Every structure is written in structure tokens, then in C-alpha cells.
Amino acid sequence: MNHEDFLEAYLKDRQKIVEEALERYLPDEDSVPEELHTAAHYSVFAGGKRIRPILCLAAAEACGADMAPAMPAACALELIHTYSLIHDDLPAMDNDDVRRGKATSHKVFGEALAILAGDALLTEAFVLLSRVEKVRLPAERRLAVIQEIASAAGIAGMVGGQALDIRAEKIPPDAAGLTEIHRRKTGALIVASVRTGAILAGAGEAKLQALTQYADHIGMAFQIADDILNVEGDSRLMGKKTGSDAAHGKVTYPSLLGMDAAKARLAEHVEAAVAALAAFDARALPLRMIARYIMERKS
């Protein structure tokens, strides 16, 4: 089996495990208003790649721990990611009708329920992070993870990045400004995903720092790859229209740097991410492969 086939099988397997856990962790149908349950489920199971939970679990394993104790946090990260997509797609925000080939939440359930489904998923992430678990982890470690994830999702991270992104529609950013937007809007939660796995595994400061470097680089790589796919990708594979950034006059890495320089920068981030893992043994192989996958993915 070559690396590409191995990674594909690995990601598929992990997606399945994460989705089974998400199904278990979401509140019962009985305990919630049915329409809210339906809307929350719809978006959580709308075909995400589960890259944040997979990174969290892989980081825990790279640090020598089992993945099971990290599963609630991994799923909490996916709930937060999903909430951010639902709110981003709202008419007042990006006004997107389709995501991953499916109608967005507000198109299916209306704006009010879409807002509430997002609010619910964000809040349930913290229920999941704080609830009593069968797997006992030190409470200090769990508090540190809550702080990590809340900070990454909050004003200093994702929500702040989203506000900067709205501003960028009026005042186009330069390359440094674009990097700042992405580091907060998508990078912060990817860094938190990797760090969360490491913290729950009880990683020491050196490993935590190395993994933070790794995650920072793959976060940037992920965003540059997204921008490139928006120009060159196959819309059938991606489940959404390509060329939308250019049509909206959106500032992207290819538009700022040119396509060749954007691809070169993508490759640099991937190499730097892999280099950051130099001190890790074979258990970090999935993290290394995920970094390369970002550059090669088609959707």
C-alpha cells in the first residue's frame, strides 16, 4: 500500500469513528425541540472532512496517548467548526446557498433556526468539554483545553477573524492583512485542535511548541490551498462553484501573490510543518501525511 492509499484509508476510518462519536454525543431527540435537533444534525452530518477532530486525535497519538480520552474534545472542535460555517453562510454574512453540495442551513430551515442551530452547537461544544466522562482525565488538563478552544474560537481567534474578513470586503487587505485574517479565522482553531490533543495526552512544553508550529503552518497551508482550489479546482469534486472568489473580487493569495508564488508558499508551509515534527517518532506519521495531503487534495 503506498502512502496515498494508506492516508485515504486512514482518513476514511477516522471520519467514521468521529461521526459515530458525534452521533453519540449530540443531545437526544427527546430532550430538544425537534426542529432544532433536525437543523443541528443536518449541518453536523453534511459531509465535513472532520479534519479538526482527526488532527486532535492524531496529535494525542503522536504524543504517545490513546485517542479515546481526546474524543469528546475532538468532537467539540467539530461542533464549533460547524457552528461557524452555519453563521458564515447566513444572508447577513457570506449569503451562501450551497455548501459541500447541499443547501445551507438557513435555506433549509430559515434564518431564525439557522442562527439558533449555530448558537446551540457552539454551546453544546462546551457541554461536551465539561461533562463528566467515564475516562478520567485530570481536571486541570480539561480546564486548559477549554481555555485553549474558547480562546481560539473567540475574539482573539475565529470570531475576530470573521470580523476582519467583513472589514476586508470594504478595505482590501495586503498580504500581511490577509495572513492575519486567516491565522485568526481558520488557523486559530486548527492550532487549538492539535494543541488540545497534545494537552490531553500530557505532552511536555517542547512537544507542545513543536506541534503548535506544525499546526500554524498547516493552518496557513490549508487556506492557501483553498484559495488555489477556488481558481483551479473541479467544482464537481468540491460540491461548490469554483471561481467565486474572483467573481466577488475577493482578495486571495493567488490574487495578491500570483498563482506560482502562492503555490510556492503553500509548499513552504507544508515543508515547515513536516520539519516541525522532526523530534517525533513514527507515531507522528499521520500528522506528516496530513500536511502533504493538504497540498495534494482535490476538494
Contact 196, 77 (CB under 8 A): yes
Nearer Cβ to its own copies (95/232)? 95
Residue (167 or 241) nearer to its own copies, CB: 167
Give residue for cell 490533543.
197
Taking the C-alpha atoms of residue 134 and residue 148, their distance in angstroms, rounded to an integer, is 22
14 or 37: CB nearest its own copies: 37
Q: Does 90 bind its own copies (CB under 8 A)?
A: yes
From the list 58, 74, 122, 276, which residue makes contact with its own copies (rule: CB under 8 A)?
122
Q: Which of 113, 284, 290, 294 lies at the binding interface for its own copies (CB under 8 A)?
A: 113
Q: Report which of 145, 286, 299, 122 is spatially closest to residue 222, judged by C-alpha positions.
A: 299
Pick one of 8, 19, 35, 268: the residue that binds its own copies (CB under 8 A): 35
| Closest to its own copies by CB, 130 or 213 | 130
Q: Of 134, 136, 140, 206, which one interacts with its own copies (CB under 8 A)?
A: 140
Planar angle of CA 75, 80, 84, nearest 5 degrees: 145
Residues near its own copies (CB under 8 A), total: 52
Minimum CB separation of residue 27 from its own copies in Å reads: 5
Q: Specify the length of the chain in residues.
A: 299
Report if residue 205 touches its own copies, rule: CB under 8 A: no
CB 291 within 8 Å of CB 280:
no
Scan residues 151-180 and list those touching its own copies (CB under 8 A): 151, 153-156, 159-160, 162-164, 166-167
Q: Which of 36, 103, 208, 256 binds its own copies (CB under 8 A)?
A: 36
Stretch that binds its own copies, among 51-59, 139-147, 238-246, 267-275 (CB under 8 A): 139-147
How many whole angstroms separate alpha carbon 214 and alpha carbon 244? 30
What string of DSSP letters covers 129-183? HHS--SS---HHHHHHHHHHHHHHHSTTTHHHHHHHHHHHHHS---HHHHHHHHI
Among 3, 12, 16, 131, binds its own copies (CB under 8 A): 131
Complex with its own copies: residue 40 or 59, whichever CB lies closer:
40
Residue 298 dihedral angles phi and psi, to the nearest 5°: -110, -5
Residue 211 near residue 198 (C-beta atoms within 8 A): yes
CA distance 18 to 194: 15
Q: Is 120 in the site for its own copies (CB under 8 A)?
A: yes
Q: Give the nearer residue to its own copies in terms of CB position, either 34 or 260.
A: 34
143 touches its own copies by CB under 8 A: yes
Decide: helix, strand or coil at residue 32: coil
Q: Does residue 16 interact with its own copies by CB under 8 A? A: no
Buried/exposed 207-228: b ≥16 CB within 10 Å, e otherwise? bbebbbbbbbbbbbbbbbbbbb
Among residues 93, 103, 256, 257, the one that binds its own copies under rule CB under 8 A? 93
Which parts of this chain interact with its own copies (CB under 8 A)?
A: 27, 31-33, 35-37, 40, 83, 87, 90, 92-93, 110-113, 115-116, 118-120, 122-124, 126-127, 129-132, 138-140, 142-144, 146-147, 150-151, 153-156, 159-160, 162-164, 166-167
